[in-house]
């Protein structure tokens, strides 16, 4: 999913409030938002990574009546047909966009050390030895 621009958007245009649910897992210095299952249409703005060289929008905290609100502001003019793109930050990138390291293959010579019934083709299950040809 993504949001495609249908009208030309000018620099510093305020797209609106970013609405999402608070995450239930704690973060070090901040609250986390989870837009996977709830929020407004701005939650469908994609990360710029793997799409463009830089984001064309930014997320900022503004205070209204002393309460913090997240808003999305355009940092570049956006043409019709372009996509809104954000930089969600390093923590988001590490958690959701970077490929996970592949597990190292289990060395076949270590099977003898780990599996007590494996012994060079001889299998012993329940005290009965079976020879595989």
Q: Do residues 3 and 41 touch, judged by C-beta distance below 8 A?
A: yes
- Structural contact between residues 4 and 82, judged by C-beta atoms closer than 8 angstroms: yes
Question: How far apart are the C-alpha atoms of 112 and 77, rounded to whole Å?
Answer: 63
The whole-number pLDDT of residue 60 equals: 92
* Residue carrying structure tokens 């913090």: 68
How far, in Å, CA of 35 to CA of 65, rounded?
A: 24
Q: To 5 degrees, how large is the angle CA 37–CA 39–CA 44?
A: 85
Q: Global pTM? A: 0.64
Domains and CATH numbers, the chain: 14-97 (2.170.270.10)
| The two structure tokens encoding residue 128 | 């009965």
What are the E-state strand segments in the chain? Answer: 14-17, 21-22, 33-34, 46-47, 57-64, 67-74, 85-86, 118-119, 122-125, 128-131
Closest C-alpha among 92, 79, 70, 66 to residue 14? 70
**pLDDT score at 71:** 93
Which residues of the chain, if any, have pLDDT below 50?
A: 118, 124-125, 130-133
Q: How far apart are CA 85 and CA 48, in angstroms?
A: 5
Q: Tell me, what's the pLDDT at 63? A: 94
């Amino acid at each position: 999913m993504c949001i495609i621009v249908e009208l030309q958007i000018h620099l510093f245009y305020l797209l609106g409030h970013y609405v999402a649910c608070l995450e239930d897992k704690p973060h070090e210095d901040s609250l986390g938002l989870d837009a996977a299952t709830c929020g407004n249409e701005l939650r469908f703005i994609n990360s710029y990574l793997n799409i463009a060289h830089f984001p064309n929008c930014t997320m900022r905290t503004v205070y209204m009546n002393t309460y913090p609100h997240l808003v999305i502001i355009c940092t570049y003019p956006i043409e019709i047909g372009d996509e809104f793109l954000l930089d969600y930050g390093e923590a988001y990138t590490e958690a959701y966009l970077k490929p996970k390291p592949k597990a190292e293959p289990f060395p076949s010579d270590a099977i003898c050390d780990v599996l007590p019934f494996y012994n060079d083709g001889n299998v012993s299950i329940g005290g009965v030895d079976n020879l595989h040809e």
